[in-house]
Amino acid sequence: MQTKSRFSRRWVLAGAGATLASPYIWTSAQAQAAGTIKVGMPLALTGPLGSVGQQQKRGAEFYTKLQNAKGGWLGKKIELLIEDTAGNPAACVRKAQEMVERQDCRLFTGITLSSEALAIVPKLAEWNAIFISSDNGDGRLTAESFVPNFFRANTSGPMGTRAISLYLKDAPYKSFYALGLDYAWGHNSVQVFENELKRLGKDFLGKVFAPTGTKDYSTYVTKIRQSGADGVYLVLAGDDNNAFLAQAAQYQLASKMAMLSEQLELTAMRAVGEACLGIIASARYAFSIDNPKNKEFVELWKQEHGGQVPDQFEGEQWQCQRVFEAGIAKAGSIEADKLRPALEDLTIDDIKGQVHMRKCDHQGVQQGFIFKAAKKEGYSHPVPEIIATLPAERTTPPCNKMTYDD
Amino acid sequence: MSTLAFLLTQGVNALSQAALLFFLGVGLTLIFGIMRIVNFAHGTLYMLGAFIGYSLLRYTGSYWLALALAPLTVGAIGTAFELGILRRLYRRDAHAFLMVTFGLALVTGEAVRLLWGSDALQVPPPALLSGVVFLLDEPFPVYRLFLVSFGIVVAVVIWQLLERTRLGLLIRATSQNAEMVHALGVDVKLVRSGVFGIGCGLAALGGVLAAPLVTASHGMAATAVIDAFVIVIIGGMGSFLGSLIGALLVAFVQVFGNYYLPDFALAFMYLVMLLVLVVRPGGLLGKEA
Amino acid sequence: MQKMKPLPALGGFAVVCLLIAAPFGLPVFAMTLLTELIILGLFAMSLDLMVGYANLVSFGHAAAYGLGAYASGYLLLNSSMPLPVVVLLAALLTGIVAIGVGWVCTLATGVSFSMLTLAFAQLLYAIAFKWTSVTGGSDGLAGIPRRAGPFAMTIFTSKTGFYYFALACLIGAYFICRALVRSPFGLVLRGIRENEAKTLVLGYNTRLYKVTVIAIAYALGGLAGALYAPFAGFANTELLFWLLSGQVLIMVIVGGQGTLIGPILGAAFFMLLEHQLSSYTEAWALFFGLIFIAFVLFAPEGIWGLARRAFARGRAPAETRHD
């Protein structure tokens, strides 16, 4: 009896060990010659930022489906390598490294967290890989942490704040208080806002930062109310944004002052419902952006996704794929040394209007959109209603900087 | 804002926070008191309560029904888990419980994501509790006032249950000397299963109550489990009154601390725990040294 | 028990030979993965010293890892010291900090002790988050180089060279731990694990022993973290977060606590499983959790215990403690 169970345990252990180790032992460079162009996307599909990663995935898959039907890129089909990092930078680097070393993948996009992006970016040169960001808003990525193989197709954090500030120039509000999440993005955007207000000659009454994971915002609501400001500027995201908005509505904060936000996605609007009515926010992408290409995109998206409209990061991911497409077509190749110069000084005209990937810091120069969260026929929750569009040259910061000069 | 209004506002804020923390911690302290189990899955059960509450609200239209049934559902799931898996582990050391509850947390967390999706879901409070009450010109959300009152009610109910009923006596006796209780002819296994179920149900109750404030979301679980542990340790593992005091202490420190020193917001809870444990290693009312 | 000795020693030697030969046979990514496994294995083994031999269950061991990583990352970015020196210095620093941490935490026992270790780790996390000028705040330190330093120790900066350095650290740490647990010091630790009261009565200053083992465990954990920073090229607050503390504790348990080798296998198992599962399905956490529950129910002695029983010659011993 002893021997028998010992034997079966041996086999189980050996089998398990072999299964775990085998994919790595056998040499397996699946080269590009296999006939597809690989795009690596080590995303956060689960975990607190899972809903953002899921949006990026959907955006990329939708684009890939349509583009592959037209023949893909350079006549080859696009293959997305999508894996879950659960928002862990160590896992992200590991997976990206695997995609480079085992699958010979040299194109990356859709990295969800800025901490993950910052970990990946220094390795791009070593990997000879190009990374075009679709949602990383950290200003540093085109400033101090800039590397030549990095491109940003999306609106950055500073750009979102700048758009709001430009809108506020002619708005009746005179004084503001700011609440941001206590990490790099929050601090960065609030700083830009403070600088912009000074330039506009408006009053910046104070700011406070809440750590991510804060469940109870009552103290912060109290501080905001006490400030007596005309408006409060919010730099929050995800669960924290939802919690704050739900709680602020219970204090009827909106009746006391205007509420402005650096960003407000559809998932947030669905999660808090009427609590976000009346909020004025900067949109990185909104389905209600009024131009023919976007209308077409939204229609196709609705057909594919059972009537759902595309959310912020889904649209940003689509735009990012379009940038890839244009760059690869211009370069005639996916090799980093050829693709890099092709992506520089590249202009596309798509769902957000014109986007110019400029040479100096690889930022996509694009318009800013301001919307108000309003009720609309046919939707059970508030939706973005565009109230202002700001010109690209005014919204995008100077080269390699996170702040503005004028 | 006048000083009185300020104190009143902050006071209510702290009490409502304490109520939520209390609901989180009381289930954990009961489970630890009886079973010496460190339940890593406590936060995911809290989250499960919120999501089940969301579904119940959507399909019945009644928040009150959701409030009643979600804890019962999760309590039943917890009891099933105890009967099926935990029971086999009582003879083993504490590490077994750590790993099995870690596994449970992973499984439950992913199950929630598979069943309800990745997005946060809205759980609005009932119309009765949606308004605002003005005192001294300051708004006090009715829902928070409800949380405080409900917290007091539940605390009293549990206290009376523990002190006055036979079940309570069994629970207290089992936590002190399970062997003796067994020798007296009581089915200790049943007490354990029941307490585990009640503990899970209380966690879920906390989740349903928190959902109107924070939405039913996936990040809930992570912060919840740490908060629960801190409250319980400060109060003293196994002490019901301790978890109440721990919740109040942490809530007041956080509310006033975040107001005056927002830079330290991340650290307050741990500093309090550190101070308490250095002075009284077993927690404020702890039975263990 | 004596019957077992020659076989494991031979087996161990064979494994080490294989590891030394690895860079010549394995493909590139396998080497990357193996290096990370070695670092994680070292991290898990360091925790086993506390958990398996002294029953000091730490919920905050990520503090050691993170502190080591930040220290080595900071030094590599801001000084011209060579990599090996930086790594060892960072480990030493972590050990020194741990003396203070250990001294406070040992005021309590049981779960209170565990929560105190968690409190320290979270406080370190908060400090790292806010002290942006030194730690990079929420962005962390990026672009950490594998600096060769003034004595042209370039051998350590190549991928293979770094691998050998990490391997040497692991093997060295293993022998240190092994010697420690077999020494009289180790016997006292086990006395503390079995019955602290009795050990106290016998005249031992149990607190001193506990603080010492904590300092060594943290130093070795810090060594692992110090290796991780130049390996991955970054150090951020996630390395200090309680999630990592929980994961490394699970690695120790699933590998088999109190065996030193077990936790190394546990770390490898955990990481490989997570990596593989997450590339097959989004719902990987579900299977991951189920596998751990299965381990608890069907393989209570952990991977190492399973392996010993399955491959043992002669009578299979029920005792799995590494003596």
> Distance, in angstroms, between B145 CA and closest chain C CA?
32
Check residue A29 and give its pLDDT. 46
Residue type, A397: P
Number of domains in chain B: 1
- Torsion angles phi and psi, residue A383, rounded to 5: -130, 160
Confidence grade of residue C51 (pLDDT, cut at 50, 70, 90): very high
Question: Is residue A6 a part of any domain in this protein?
Answer: no
What mean pLDDT value characterizes chain B? 91
Mean pLDDT of all residues in A136-154: 92
Furthest C-alpha separation in chain B: 62
What separation, in Å, do the N-terminal and C-terminal C-alpha atoms of chain B show?
45
Check residue B170 and give its pLDDT. 85
Number of domains in chain A: 2
- Tens digits of residue pLDDT in A259-292: 999 999 999 999 999 999 999 999 999 999 999 9
Domain of B129, in residue numbers: 11-218
- Tens digits of residue pLDDT in B143-153: 999 999 999 99
- Residue A256: C-alpha distances to residues A259, B1, B138 (Å): 9, 14, 11
Question: Using an 8 Å Cβ cutoff, are A280 and A261 in contact?
Answer: yes
Considering the domain architecture, whether residues A68 and A82 belong to the same structural domain is answered as yes
Considering the domain architecture, whether residues A235 and A265 belong to the same structural domain is answered as yes
Check residue A359 and give its pLDDT. 94
**Structural tokens at position A57:** 């995935």
- Which of B187-196, C23-32, C179-188 is most confident? C179-188
- Tens digits of residue pLDDT in C271-298: 999 999 998 898 999 999 999 999 999 8
Contact C234 A182 (CB under 8 A): no
Question: Given a cut of 60, is residue A28 above it in pLDDT?
Answer: no
- Tens digits of residue pLDDT in C73-128: 999 999 888 899 999 999 999 999 999 999 999 998 888 899 999 999 999 999 99
Residue type, B245: I
Buried b (16+ CB within 10 A) or exposed e, C60-88: bbbbbbbbbbbbbbbbbbeeebbbbbbbb
C138 DSSP assignment: G
ipTM of predicted complex: 0.93
DSSP result, A150-167: EEE-SPPHHHHHHHHHHH
Angle (CA) C123 C126 C127, round 5°: 90
Check residue B282 and give its pLDDT. 84
Q: Lowest mean pLDDT of A218-222, B90-94, B255-259, C146-150, name the range.
A: C146-150
Touching partners of C (3+ C-beta pairs < 8 Å): A, B
Query: Whole-model pTM?
Result: 0.92
Check residue A395 and give its pLDDT. 94
- Torsion angles phi and psi, residue B133, rounded to 5: -115, 135
Question: Is residue A329 a part of any domain in this protein?
Answer: yes
Considering the domain architecture, whether residues A66 and A44 belong to the same structural domain is answered as yes
Could you tell me which chain C residue has the CA closest to the CA of A83?
C279
| Angle between helices B166-176 and B3-35 in degrees, nearest 10 | 70
Question: Is residue A1 a part of any domain in this protein?
Answer: no
Considering the domain architecture, whether residues A374 and A260 belong to the same structural domain is answered as yes
Contact residues, chain C to chain B, C-beta under 8 Å: 51, 57, 104, 107-112, 114-116, 118-120, 122-123, 125-126, 129-130, 242-243, 246, 249-250, 253-254, 257, 283-286, 288-293, 295-297, 300
Considering the domain architecture, whether residues A299 and A151 belong to the same structural domain is answered as yes
Domain of A317, in residue numbers: 32-155+291-366
CATH of the domain at A260: 3.40.50.2300
Residue spans of the domains in chain C: they are 30-251
Mean pLDDT of all residues in A5-34: 60
Question: Is residue A21 a part of any domain in this protein?
Answer: no
β strands within chain C, DSSP E: 141-142, 234-235
> Distance, in angstroms, between B123 CA and closest chain C CA?
25
Cα–chain center distance at C142: 23
Question: Is residue B91 a part of any domain in this protein?
Answer: yes
Check residue A204 and give its pLDDT. 96
Could you tell me which chain B residue has the CA closest to the CA of A180?
B262
In this complex, the residue of C114, C115, C250 whose CB is nearest that of residue B102 is C250
DSSP result, C189-222: HHHHHH-HHHHHHTT--HHHHHHHHHHHHHHHHH
- Tens digits of residue pLDDT in C213-271: 999 999 999 999 999 999 999 999 999 999 999 999 999 999 999 999 999 999 999 99
> Distance, in angstroms, between C167 CA and closest chain B CA?
29
